[in-house]
Amino acid sequence: MKPLLPVIALAAAAPLAAQESHAGHAGHDMGDMAAEPDAPVSPGPEMETPPPPEAGSGPPRAADAIWGAEAMAASREDLRKMHGDFPLLWLQAERLETHIREGRDGYLWDVQGWYGTPTRRLWVKSEGEGEWGGKPEDGEVQALYSAAIRPFWDLQAGIRHDFAGADTTHAVIGIQGLAPYMFEVDAALFLSTRGDVTARIEAEIDQRITQRLILQPRVEANLAGQDIPALGIGAGIDQIEAGVRLRYEIAREFAPYIGIEQSWRIGQGADFARLRGEDPSVTSLVAGIRFWF
């Protein structure tokens, strides 16, 4: 048994010696790597590498040198059209509704559409109102040329003709677009053939409750530069309408709605309304449909 003791002791000591030797070797290697000045350095992602000096020195349209300028011009025209610069037709009935109010109930329409490209369009707008069973009390149609002046904003100019009430034609200049916080704005200035200056500002916003149920607050203000007794319009802010409509999109293109709207005549406009036996403040329950295609 005694001759085996040295062998057992040697076997037990061998792994410890091997571990110490490996640890010392590893420490030596790490020190050498840190001390080597020529060790390669990672260049990092390629996106951080600056472009070569010859980048951008070629022709701006290198494909012309291969296929010819004439062939590439046709290809670029097709590409421009594919990216949206082609004429489209769009029509929307924003409000087709009945008004339930004290006295005789009424109706209202507000329709608009355009034909053209994203930057150049011909707009047609029509709106009016009246009492059921009678002719429209107010009605107009506008034809406008529209040009994009910045993203989401169009400058519009054209003519407006009133075919209900006083037969009048106006020159129109206005702006329409999407304001911050997703307010849709339509503002226009009108100059009639009689020299009367009036203006209208409309703003609305869609507040989505669910994917199909949408609440839409809306406000409209009508202004005039002078009294127009023949039309019952007073100088300054003549009328303000404020309302809210709750619609349900059965399809994205078709949505019935209900709501409430309050209308106020202000200043001299309120006096003109009283002289005609009208209430300058009217509250209406509304129900209608909204569609587009």
Separation of CA 105 from chain center? 34
Tally the domains of the chain: 1
How much is the pLDDT for 101? 93
How much is the pLDDT for 46? 59
CATH number at residue 275: 2.40.160.40
Which residues face 139 on adjacent strands?
Answer: 128, 164
Within-domain flag for 160: yes
Within-domain flag for 71: no
How much is the pLDDT for 20? 44
Within-domain flag for 30: no
Q: Is residue 12 packed enough to be buried (19+ CB in 10 Å), middle (13-18) or exposed (0-12)?
A: exposed
C-alpha to C-alpha distance for 34 and 233, rounded to whole angstroms:
89
In this structure, are residues 290 and 93 in contact, taking their beta carbons and an 8 Å threshold?
yes
Within-domain flag for 15: no
Within-domain flag for 132: yes
Q: Taking the model in full, what pTM does it have?
A: 0.74
How much is the pLDDT for 154? 97
Q: How many CB atoms lie within 10 A of CB 247?
A: 20
The total number of residues written for the chain in this structure: 293
**Residue type at 172?**
V
How much is the pLDDT for 113? 97
How much is the pLDDT for 35? 44
Within-domain flag for 77: no
In this structure, are residues 136 and 164 in contact, taking their beta carbons and an 8 Å threshold?
yes
* Domain range for 233: 95-292
C-alpha to C-alpha distance for 77 and 167, rounded to whole angstroms:
46
The encoded tokens of residue 70 equal 């004439």
Separation of CA 160 from chain center? 26
How much is the pLDDT for 269? 94
Within-domain flag for 272: yes
The one-digit pLDDT tens for each residue of the chain (293 residues) are 444 434 344 444 444 444 444 444 444 444 444 445 565 565 555 556 777 777 777 667 778 888 888 888 888 888 877 777 788 999 999 999 999 998 789 999 999 999 999 899 999 999 999 999 989 999 999 999 999 999 999 999 999 999 988 889 999 999 999 999 999 999 999 999 999 999 999 999 999 999 999 999 999 999 999 999 989 999 999 999 999 999 999 999 999 999 999 999 999 999 999 998 999 999 999 999 999 99
How much is the pLDDT for 28? 43
